[in-house]
Amino acid sequence: MSIRNVTRRSVLVGAGATLSGLASARLAWAQDGSQKPYTIYQITYRGETDVERGFADYMRQRGIPVEITQRSAELDPSKVAGFVEEIHKLKPDLVYTWGTPVTIATYGKDTDVDPAKNITQIPGVFTMVSAPVAAGVVPSLASSGRNITGTSHVVPPEPQIRAMQSYRPFKTLGVLYTPTEQNSVVIVARLREIAKQMDFTLAERTFPVVDGKPSVETAADLVHQLHQDGAEWLYYLPDTFLSTNIDKVAPVATELGIPGFSATELLKGDALVSLISRYYSLGQLTAYKAEQILVEGVGPEDIPIETLKRFSLIINMPLARKLKLYPPLAMLNYAEVITG
């Protein structure tokens, strides 16, 4: 998307909604036009997702009039610098960022912020940041200590590992990730610790980096190497490069008989099992934080960074049949099953 092409969405609640208190007042503003829409500048990594749809629907349902300017980095965080320049000119009421690379490029790291290159004066919310503290976005989940807050979508690694073991016990876990994505590096470091604690081997491979950018050309070879290492599961991290190139990874793993386990909703169709936060629900949680900032006047530094309280376990039954790895019957009592 060119920096000059602006997509704006006015989100107004319908007259039939039933709201009370402060929400009723906002509904009146939306209906009579007396409330000027809040302006939100939204930067995504690869275009609109269910996170943004959940965000917009929340605003509509709550009767909060907003005008959203959408931008996509189109898988290239270096484009964010141009968006930051535009934000400084437009001066929106709120900035919204999707994903760790985009968030760091927009707001800077907690210990490395440049007001000339980063957004500091305009409040911001981030979402889809896997490890906000470990990646250096915030010093703690209790408070960013600055003009941002946000949400994380990743279920902690420990319950992910336990879910894998419940489905199919293993001694070796394979992981393929992008070494230039800080969130992936952080998660793999935690996996190494868990491997020692839970007595399994972690087999690692990284996408090669060519001229500063990851390359997918050797993806099939890397999966074969993990198979030779004895990987009994392939753990699909919340790694953006992996997600966008999963078609070069998952089919090879399936052919070799290695089941995939996904940490993100995006890859639920490529993995045998997924333990995830729903993107749409995460968008609504992010919108709630935006509401606190825009409508209630709460400072972002006073709003904790959170993830959803409930997660979804999803089993891909067509893939189970293909791999001949069927789930334990007890797991079917609480899992969601993809049937086709």
Query: Are both 203 and 90 inside the same structural domain?
Result: no
Residue 8: pLDDT band by 50, 70, 90 thresholds? very low
Q: How confident is the model at residue 20 (pLDDT cuts 50, 70, 90)?
A: very low
CA-based angle 277:65:39, to the nearest 5?
Answer: 85
All residues at 6 or more sequence positions from 3 whose CB lies less than 8 Å from its CB, including other chains:
71, 79, 82, 83, 86
Q: If pLDDT is split at 50, 70 and 90, which confidence band does 32 have?
A: low
Local confidence band at 5 (pLDDT 50, 70, 90 cut-offs): very low
pLDDT-based confidence at residue 146 (cuts at 50, 70, 90): very high
Q: What is the mean pLDDT of residues 154-174?
A: 93
pLDDT of amino acid 335 = 94
pLDDT at 278 over 70: yes
- Looking at the structure, tell me whether residues 167 and 179 fall in a common domain: yes
Tell me whether residue 188 is in a domain. Answer: yes
Cβ atoms of 248 and 220 closer than 8 Å: yes
* Residues 178 and 271 reside in one and the same domain: yes
Please give the angle made by the CA atoms of 265, 268 and 274, to the nearest 5 degrees. 85
149 and 183 belong to one structural domain: no
Q: Are residues 23 and 82 in the same domain?
A: yes
- pLDDT confidence of 27, banded at 50, 70, 90? very low
Examine the pLDDT at 171 and tell me if it is beyond 50. Answer: yes
Residue 212 located in a structural domain: yes
What is the pLDDT, as a whole number, of residue 319? Answer: 96
Per-residue model confidence (pLDDT) at position 22: 39
What domain range includes position 35? Answer: 7-153+279-302
Considering the domain architecture, whether residues 89 and 103 belong to the same structural domain is answered as yes
Is residue 119 in a domain?
A: yes
Q: Is residue 272 part of a domain?
A: yes
Nearest to 337 by CA among 321, 307, 317, 318: 317
Mean pLDDT of 145-166: 93
Residues 270 and 285 in one domain: no
Residue 2 lies in a domain: no
Amino acid identity of 254? Answer: T
* pLDDT reported for residue 268: 86
Q: Is the same domain home to 112 and 171?
A: no
Q: Can you give the pLDDT at residue 34?
A: 62
Task: With respect to residue 1, please indicate whether it lies within any of the assigned structural domains.
Answer: no
Same-domain status, 21 and 149:
yes
Higher pLDDT, 35 or 265: 265
Q: Compute the average pLDDT of residues 90-108.
A: 96
Give alpha helix (H) positions in 168-278: 182-198, 219-228, 240-244, 250-255
From CA 130, how far away is CA 237, in angstroms rounded? 9
Mean pLDDT over 22-39 rounds to 58
pLDDT at 28 over 60: no
The CATH number linked to 96 is 3.40.50.2300
pLDDT of residue 195: 97
Q: Do 265 and 167 belong to one domain?
A: yes
271 and 287 in a common domain: no
Distance between CA 236 and CA 238 in Å, rounded? 7
Q: What was the pLDDT predicted at 134?
A: 86
138 and 209 share one domain: no
Confidence band, pLDDT 50/70/90 cuts, at residue 55: very high
Average pLDDT for 92-108: 96
Model pLDDT for residues 205-264, shown as the tens digit of each residue: 999 999 988 999 999 999 999 999 999 999 999 888 999 899 999 999 999 999 999 988
Residue 118 belongs to a domain: yes
Distance CA 272, CA 251 (A): 12
Query: Parallel, antiparallel, or unpaired: how do β-strands 209-210 and 260-262 relate?
Result: unpaired
Domains of the chain: total: 2
Nearest 5°: the CA angle 329, 333, 338 is 85
Q: Is 54 contained in some domain? A: yes
Q: Is the pLDDT of residue 15 over 60?
A: no
The whole-chain average pLDDT of the chain stands at: 89
In the structure, what pLDDT confidence band is assigned to residue 33 with cuts at 50, 70 and 90? Answer: low
User: Average pLDDT in the 136-146 region?
Assistant: 97
pTM for this predicted structure: 0.74
